[in-house]
Each structure stands twice: as structure tokens, then as C-alpha cells.
Amino acid sequence: MTFETFVPHPNAGSSGCSKEDRVEPTNDQDPSYYHRVVDCQWACPAHTNVPGYIRLIAQGRFTDAYMLNRESNVFPGILGRTCDRPCEPACRRGRVDGNPVAICRLKRVTADLKDDITDRLPTAPAQKNGKRIACVGAGPSSLTVANDLVPLGYEVVMFEQFATAGGLMRTNIPEFRLPDEVLNSETQAILDMGVDIRYNTPITSLRSLLEENFDAVFVGVGAPRGKGLEIPGRHDETGPESHIHIGIDWLESVSFGHVTSIGERVLIIGVGNTAMDCCRTSLRLGGTDIRVMARRPREYFKASAWELEDAEEEGVAIVVNHAPRRFVIEDGRLVGMEFDVVEWDEGARHSTVLDTVTIPCDDVILAIGQENAFPWIERDLGLTFGEWDMPVVDETTFESTLPGVFFGGDAAWGPKNIIWAVAHGHQAAISIHQFCHGQSLTERPAEGMNLLSQKMGMSEWSYYNDYNPSPRQQMRHIELTERFRSLNLEVELGFTAEQTAREAQRCLNCDVETAFQASLCIECDACVDICPVQCLTITHNGDEADLRGRLSAPSVNLDQPLYVSAPLPQTGRVMVKDENVCVHCGLCAERCPTAAWDMAEFTLQIPYASSPGVLRIPVPTKPTSDVRS
């Protein structure tokens, strides 16, 4: 054979097919591509850097892990106990072995084991910027706004109707789920930055608040009104005290010590998380026969699965397919409730009544939802109300139609969860900051990213990349015999050191991304051969459906994107990665002879009010006359 000089391959540099039937190379310079691979962070409304803090936990750096959490979600201790956990159903580990990483519980670990963080919290500058902001309500969204704005020199005046801060986190979440000291320490941390908190000061008129000439007003009053149930008998009680309670009002009364007991037989109407809190609280106030009455079958319940489990473990009966008909009142006293026993068609859209039953009871708690109420906002201020008598709020800027008045949390678009309120608070703070400096609110600061190679040397990586087959760790609970002794005995005990270590290792480090550089690839197949989940394929380009049909492992999850490289230098084929079940083990990078694959830690740079670039025109720090031309 004779040796010939190098002639470029006819296919090199092109995929060899027309534009229509091929996938364009993935733009991995757009932060949202790698962000989406970090499923938990993508699903979290506040985009908490979950794998980042789990790695810190694994290193025993609990305080650092707490502070990383706090950056985005502000209340790690509270959320570590009460979050609705949108991250966990999204977790990649769930797609691998069926059980997501116990992210929420690990968050609690950071709060439980942190050292004193006082000197690491943001502080207010001595020199204020002269802007005054009013926050209505002292719930999670208002506190987040204050957390972001006070360190920038704003004077934040917070109006709270009660004598304590926390909003629904305090009044609606029972102490056996969220101890007061956790709530107090995290709310106080923000107030201590220098928030001018005015307790026992309900705002009764937006007009008079506006007359106080604040530079901006943030409304974070939640959704404070529990829904009623207008069926026969509802208003027929004649005794001094009604035994038909509105769930969130009743929880509030319990929280403030106004209610300390309940009858033995209690019916809870509704199947959301408030219903779960009501039934479990009833058990601690003297209830012995507690039933949660549901109209529809179990799979349509709104309550989180784990809260339902906890309630059932404590002996609460869940009764499905019972639709309330009327309250049974005898001699002006509630004695029971009548229900239709129903059967549902498939999809539970239509029901047929099979029977009618009466269930005797001493008290009924209505936990069928809550709604917004703005009786204190005058309707002639230029603040438009739309459908359902809700204020019209811009989904990006959180501004109402009245310039300078912002909404967030449940007050903006109805009941959601604490983590949403926090996310709203961060965005509203950016808007308020821009508004107070006369800048457009619609030009938002862009998310950025940082990719940092984890390669330390031959077979050495700066993250622990062994797959740990441990099952999800189970939360330890206080003994059932002990649990009901007091209303404020926290039921969940937190993870032990060993559980923490094991659960932290279950995290797949999705933020340590497989970063590919097509120009370096020699198509040796080493990565394709070594991948333990066969998520890599080198093939000729085609349209997405076609590509998905030619992958090494069947493409079973169309919700997860494909990574498609630029054409490879030698054959013009492309490297395709199915993002669905990559376990980020790093073996592709380990086996790559040319370092075309690298494992690089992705950090999402989330803009906050304090980030550079939020104000496009920098605010002069000195009077303009001092600027020399």
C-alpha cells in the first residue's frame, strides 16, 4: 500500500443531508440548555442550585450549603419542612431507580446542622439610597422583597395585621410540622437587616397608603379567605359557638392559641394540604374519630402524597366518593352531616348517586380551598381588576396596572406554594429596583452561566462520580404514642448523619454536565461503548423523530431533549446524546482520548436585584458634578 497525503473527507464539515431533514446543532452556549439538564433546578420556581448544595452537604459543609440555598429560596429551614417539592418529581434519580433524591429533607439538614450565619447574611448599607418601599403583609413574598432590597439601601416599611411575621407560614402550617423557632429565626434574619416592621397594622385602604408617598408598593397579602360551603343547614346553628369551621381561619385561631380543643368526632371536608393540617391538628386537640371526606377518588386528591401518608399513619380515615348534601342540625346544634355516596365514571367527570348516608359528628372543618380578597383596594385608583375579581398583574414584571404597585405570592394569581412566593418576591424586587431608577421593567437582566471543567488529572475528577445504588432514605418520625402529647411536638426528626451521607450520594450531580466539543472528536466510539446507560450515539443527522429511532438505547422519554453536536470532523456524522437517563458518571469523558468530552460544573447565574446589569444605566455613586470629562 502506498501512503497518500491527507485529503479532506467529502462529507467532513457537513451532515450530508438537506436542512429540512436534520437537527441543527444544540446551542449549548444558551444557559437554558444545561439548566434544563439539571431537572430539579429547572423545576424549582426559584431555581435553587440543588446538586450544588447536596455536594456541600456531602462534604459536611452544612453552613455553606445553607447559604447556597438561601441565595435563591431564602427560607431553607422552612422549605426543608414544608415545600411542595416540585423538584422531586422532576429528579433524574426518579427516572433511574423509581425514587427521587429526598431533596427537601436534605435542605432541612442544612438548616438543622448549620453554624451561626449572622455574619454571612446581607446587611443594609449605612448610606441609604433614599427610596421608601411599602410591603403589605409579612409573608414569604414580602420578606423576599425586603431581603433583596434592604441590602441595596432601600427603606422597607412592612405592614402586618398580626403581632408576628410569617404570614400563612405561621398561621396555616401547624407547629408539629414547622416549629416556631425555625420560622422565627428565618423571618427574623430578614427583619433584623433593618426592615421597618409595623405589627398589628392591617392596611384598610390602598388610597391612604399611596398618600404616604412611597416610591413603590408591594402587595403580598396572600389568599386569606377560606371558601365556604353553602348547603342546607350551614347557618342553622343557634348556640354561642359554631361547630362548622373554615379551615384556614381555624388553623389561624389554633396558631394564636384562641382555639385549644375540638370535639371527639370531626369531619374534614376537602383533600388538599390544608385538610391534612386540619385533621392532624384535630387529633392533637382532643379529636379521636377524624374523617377526611372526599367527593372524588384518591387519585384526584390535591394533597401531597407524603402529607396524606402522615395523616393516615396517625389514624385519620380517608373516605372517598362522599359528596356533602347538608349539615344535620338538631335543636340548633350540629349533630352530623349528610352525604351522597357517589360512583364516578372514568376520568371522574360525572357521578351517579348510589345512596345517602348521615355521619354523626361534633365538628366540621371546611378545607375546600381559599381565595383572594382585596376589600381594602379602592376600585377607582386605576388598578384594574379582571376575571374572578383578581388584580391584573403582569406575569413578567409583577406590576399591576397602577405604576409602582406590585403584587406577588398568592396575592398575585391565587394560592400556590411558598417557593412560588419566594420566586415572585425576587422578580418583584428586580422590578421595584428598576422602577425606582426610572428604567424599563420589561428589559429584564438575562440569566448567565459558568462552566468549569472538573478534570484534575488522569482519572481524577473534582466531584465524586460513583453511582451509589442506595435506596431513598426514609424520614424518621416521632413515635405515634408520643406524638399527640403536645401541639408543637415536631413529628419529623430529620435525617441522621448516616442517612444524610447516603442520601447525598444518591444525587447524580446533573449539574456536572457532559460538555462536548465536536472539533476534537476522532469518532473512536470509546464513549459510546463505555456509557452504562447507552445514551450516546454517533450517527448521520436526520430529523428528530428519525434520530430518536436510531439511538443506541430506545428513546422512551420524548419530554427530554436530545443533544446534537456539530458535524464531526472525520465523517460528518453527529454525536447524539439522549438526555433522559444520563447518570453523569463521567465515563465518556474518562474514556475520551482527545478530551472532546469533558465534565464541567454548570452554575446558573440567576439575576437578583443586587446583580450587576439589573440597572442598565449605572447609578452614579457621586454627584454628577464630580464626574470629570
- Sketch the per residue contact string, 217 through 256, with another protein: x for CB under 8 A, - otherwise: ----------------------------------------
> Which cell numbers hold the place of 416?
400556590
CA–CA gap between residue 456 and residue 178 (Å, rounded): 43
Nearer to another protein, 232 or 532 (CB): 532
- Residue 35 · residue 449 · CB < 8 Å: yes
Among 436, 526, 576, 600, binds another protein (CB under 8 A): 526
Residue 300: phi and psi, rounded to 5, are: -100, 10
Helix, strand, coil percentages in the chain from 3-state DSSP, rounded to 5? 30, 20, 50
Stretch that binds another protein, among 116-124, 187-195, 328-336, 518-526 (CB under 8 A): 518-526
Kindly identify the residues of this chain, within the stretch 86-115, that bind another protein according to CB under 8 A: 96-97
CA–CA gap between residue 145 and residue 147 (Å, rounded): 5
> Which cell numbers hold the place of 299?
387519585
Q: Is the dihedral of CA 30, 31, 33, 34 positive or negative?
A: positive
Nearer to another protein, 475 or 581 (CB): 581
469 binds another protein per the rule CB under 8 A: yes
465 binds another protein per the rule CB under 8 A: yes
Nearest distance from C-beta of residue 458 to another protein, angstroms: 8
Nearer to another protein, 7 or 163 (CB): 7
- Sketch the per residue contact string, 478 through 517, with another protein: x for CB under 8 A, - otherwise: ----------------------------------------
How far CA 628 is from CA of 133, 557, 617, 623, 625, in Å, comes to 33, 61, 18, 11, 8
CA–CA gap between residue 228 and residue 245 (Å, rounded): 9
Nearer to another protein, 12 or 121 (CB): 12
How far CA 265 is from CA of 75, 237, 334, 337, 360, in Å, comes to 36, 17, 11, 11, 8
- Sketch the per residue contact string, 135 through 164, with another protein: x for CB under 8 A, - otherwise: ------------------------------
Stretch that binds another protein, among 59-67, 170-178, 187-195, 526-534 (CB under 8 A): 526-534
- Residue 168 · residue 139 · CB < 8 Å: yes
Nearer to another protein, 146 or 508 (CB): 508
Nearer to another protein, 6 or 388 (CB): 6
Among 125, 529, 558, 613, binds another protein (CB under 8 A): 529
Nearest distance from C-beta of residue 471 to another protein, angstroms: 11
Stretch that binds another protein, among 2-10, 32-40, 101-109, 220-228 (CB under 8 A): 2-10
Nearest distance from C-beta of residue 525 to another protein, angstroms: 4
Nearest distance from C-beta of residue 557 to another protein, angstroms: 10
Nearer to another protein, 171 or 580 (CB): 580
* Dihedral (Cα; 331, 335, 340, 342), 10-degree rounding: 180
467 binds another protein per the rule CB under 8 A: yes
Nearer to another protein, 449 or 581 (CB): 581
Stretch that binds another protein, among 3-11, 82-90, 240-248, 477-485 (CB under 8 A): 3-11
* Degrees to nearest 5, angle at CA 293 with 292 and 298: 90
Nearer to another protein, 10 or 375 (CB): 10
Give Cα 245 to chain centroid, integer Å: 30
Place of cell 381565595: 371
Q: Closest Cα partner for 322 from 302, 303, 346, 297? A: 297
Nearer to another protein, 421 or 587 (CB): 587
Nearest distance from C-beta of residue 105 to another protein, angstroms: 22
Nearest distance from C-beta of residue 531 to another protein, angstroms: 9
Kindly identify the residues of this chain, within the stretch 558-617, that bind another protein according to CB under 8 A: 570-571, 581, 583, 585, 587, 590-594
452 binds another protein per the rule CB under 8 A: no
CA–CA gap between residue 419 and residue 78 (Å, rounded): 10
Nearest distance from C-beta of residue 529 to another protein, angstroms: 4
At 175, which amino acid appears?
E
- H or E stretch including 358? strand 351-360
Nearest distance from C-beta of residue 453 to another protein, angstroms: 16
**591 secondary structure, DSSP code:** H
522 binds another protein per the rule CB under 8 A: yes
> Which cell numbers hold the place of 106?
436534605
CA–CA gap between residue 40 and residue 465 (Å, rounded): 18
**Going by C-beta distance under 8 Å and a sequence separation of 6 or more, which residues neighbour residue 363?**
243, 244, 245, 262, 263, 265, 266, 267, 282, 287, 334
Q: Closest Cα partner for 123 from 33, 217, 222, 195? A: 195
Strand order in the sheet with 448-453: 448-453, 597-605, 512-516
End-to-end, the C-alpha distance of the chain in Å comes to 74
Among 556, 558, 613, 619, binds another protein (CB under 8 A): 556
How far CA 127 is from CA of 113, 123, 131, 150, 151, in Å, comes to 35, 12, 11, 11, 10
Q: How many residues bind another protein (CB under 8 A)?
A: 39
Among 215, 357, 524, 610, binds another protein (CB under 8 A): 524
Among 459, 481, 621, 625, binds another protein (CB under 8 A): 459
Nearer to another protein, 15 or 49 (CB): 15
Among 314, 338, 523, 546, binds another protein (CB under 8 A): 523
Among 437, 533, 544, 561, binds another protein (CB under 8 A): 533
* Degrees to nearest 5, angle at CA 409 with 403 and 412: 50
Residues contributing to the site for another protein (CB under 8 A): 1-4, 6-7, 9, 96-97, 458-459, 465-467, 469, 522-526, 528-530, 532-533, 553-554, 556, 570-571, 581, 583, 585, 587, 590-594
